[in-house]
Amino acid sequence: MSLYEIRDLAVDIAGNRLVDKVSLAVDAGQCTAIIGASGSGKSLTCLTPFGLTPGVASGLIRLDGIDLASADVGQLSDARRKLAGFVFQQPLTALTPHLTVGAQLQEATMQAGSARPTRAELVRQLERVGLSRPDERLDQFPHRLSGGERQRVMIAAAIAHGPRLLIADEPTSALDASLRAEIMTLLDQLRAEQGLAMLLVSHDLASVEGHADQLVVMDKGRVVESGPAADIIANPAEEYTRRLIAATPRLDEPAPELSQPGDILLGTRDVAVEFQRPGWRRGRISAVVDASITVRQGESLALVGGSGSGKSTLGRAIAGIGPVTQGKILWQASALPQRRNRTLEMRRSIQPVFQDPVASLDPQWTVIDIVTEPLRNLRPDLDRAECNDSARQALSDVDLPEEFLTRMPASLSGGQAQRVAIARAMIASPQLLVLDEATSALDPLVGAEILALLARLQRENGLSLLFITHDIAAARRLCHRIAVMDDGCIVETGDIQAVIDHPRHPATQRLVAAS
C-alpha cells in the first residue's frame, strides 16, 4: 500500500467542480510530480485534502492508513502537524513577516511535539538547505532575504519536524537553475535517508526529469496523462504535454528579431548598496559593489545572476524603492535623487514589476483599485472616471477582460496576477520597466505568454526593459544585451548571444551550463 493515495478525487468550491477524477499514489521514498499550466488544478489537488484551500474534497484520500476524506478538523490538523510538511508556492506570503527566520524554524520544529531546538540545531537546519551565513539568517526577517533564500527557509521549515510526506508546491520556482538542481538533489537525499515521500507540483520539467518517479499531467482540473516520468518526458502521448515541453526556453532555439535601440536612457555609475547587519552584530553587508550598467531607449537589458547575487537590490535602487549607499543613477544623463526627492515625472518614468505576482498585489483591494493606484499618486489631475477608463484600457493591453476589474487577487492565477501587475506598471505610461523575475514563478506556457506580452508592449510603446532573471534562456527571448552579477558585482556584460556563445567569467559559465 502506498504511503499516500488519492483515487477519483474531486474538489468543489461554491458549487463549482474545479478538479475531477484525479488519481495518484506516492510511495515512501518516492516522488510523484504533477505538472500543468497555471490554473490546471495542481495546487488544489495537493492542498485541498489537508484542508488548506476553500475547496471541499471527495473521493478516496488516505495518508499512512488515515482516511483524510472523512477526518474532522482536529484529525486533519494532527495529520498536518505530525505526518506532512508543506512548501508553498509563494514564500513571501507563506512566511510570517514579523517573525525572524529563527523564530519560524523553532516553531516548525516544535509543531510535532519536539523539544525546543538550540541555536546550533537551527543553524544546522539552514546549512542543510544550503543557505549562506546561516547564523546571521536566524536573526533576519523574510523581507531581508532574496526569493531563493526565502524558498530555502521554507524548505527547512517544512522538514524541521520530520514529516513522512512532503507536499512541495513549486519548491524551486524562485531559484536559479544551478540552485534548483541543488535543492532537488537535497530532496532526493531526504527521500533516500528518511524514506520521505514527496508530492511535487512543478512547471520546471528540467527539474522533474531525473528526480520524479511518476508524472501526472493536468489540464483544466483533469489528468491528461500519467505514468513513469522518464517515459512521458521522452515520448509525450498528448499534444498538451508536448506544448508544455516545447514552451520551456532553450538556448539552441532560433534567436528573436529585436528592434534597434536608441540613445542611452538610464545609467548607473559605481553604484553600491550596503545594509546594516541584523541583530547584535556590528558592521555592514555589501549587497551591490560598484555596479555600472546602461539601458538605451527601446532596449532590453538582462540583469542575470544567481540567488543572492545582488541583482534585485540593484533593480530596487534603480526603481527608487531601495537605498543607494554611494554612486549615481543617471536618467537621460542627469542624476536621479532618492525616491522621496524624485518628481512625479521621474517616478512615473520608471515602474517596477515585482518577483512575486500575488504578494505584490494588495489582497484587500479589487483589481481596479490596484491598477489605478499609480494614477492616484502620479496623476492627481485625473478624476475617478478617467482613472477607471485608463484601467480598462490597461487590462485590455495585457489581454485581460474588463470583468477582471471587480475581482480580488486571491481569485487570480499566477499568470493573471502577473498580467495585473504589468497593467499596474503600464498605466502610468513609463519609459522603463524594472522586471524582477517576471516569469520565474510561472509555468512554461504562461511564462512564454508573458515574455511575448512584454515583447509586444515594448514594440508598441517604445519601452526600455531591465529584465532581472536567473534564466539566461528566458532572457534570450527578449533581451538585446546582458549584464551578469555575482557576489554584488557586475562581472560580465555584452551582446546576449555573444556572451552565451563565449562566456568568460565562471559565474556566467555556470549559468549558461545550467540553462
- pLDDT, tens only, 293-308: 999 999 999 999 987 7
Higher pLDDT, 510 or 454: 454
Cα–chain center distance at 367:
21
Predicted confidence (pLDDT) at residue 460 exceeds the cutoff of 80 = yes
More confident residue, 93 or 66: 66
Binned at pLDDT 50, 70 and 90, residue 269 comes out as very high
| Residue extent(s) of CATH 3.40.50.300 domains in the chain | 4-247, 264-357+430-514
Average pLDDT, the chain: 90
User: How high is the pLDDT of residue 486?
Assistant: 93
Contact status, residue 59 vs residue 8, Cβ threshold 8 Å: yes
CATH architecture of 264-357+430-514: 3-Layer(aba) Sandwich (3.40)
Lowest mean pLDDT among 91-95, 243-247, 355-359: 355-359
Q: Please, which residues have CB within 8 angstroms of residue 451's CB and are 6 or more apart in sequence?
A: 249, 439, 474, 477, 478
Q: How far is the C-alpha of 324 from the C-alpha of 342, rounded, in Å?
A: 14
Q: Span 373-397, mean pLDDT?
A: 93
pLDDT digits (tens, 9 = 90+) for 340-374: 788 888 999 999 998 777 778 999 999 999 999 99
Residue 115 is predicted with a pLDDT of: 86
The residue assigned the cell 510523484 is 32
All residues at 6 or more sequence positions from 365 whose CB lies less than 8 Å from its CB, including other chains: 373, 408, 409
**Average pLDDT, integer, range 431-451:** 87
Average pLDDT over residues 264-273: 95
Dihedral in degrees, nearest 10, Cα atoms 328, 334, 339, 340: 120
**CATH class of residue range 4-247:** alpha beta
Contact 433, 233 (CB under 8 A): no
Mean pLDDT of 204-214: 83
> Over the stretch 191-208, which tens digit does the pLDDT of each residue have?
888 889 999 998 777 678
Q: In the prediction, which pLDDT does 220 show?
A: 92
Give 174's contacts (C-beta < 8 A, 6+ positions apart).
91, 147, 148, 150, 151, 307, 355, 437, 440, 441
Q: What are 125-165's pLDDT values in tens digits?
A: 998 887 888 999 999 999 888 777 888 899 899 999 989 99
Q: What is the CA radius of gyration of the chain?
A: 23
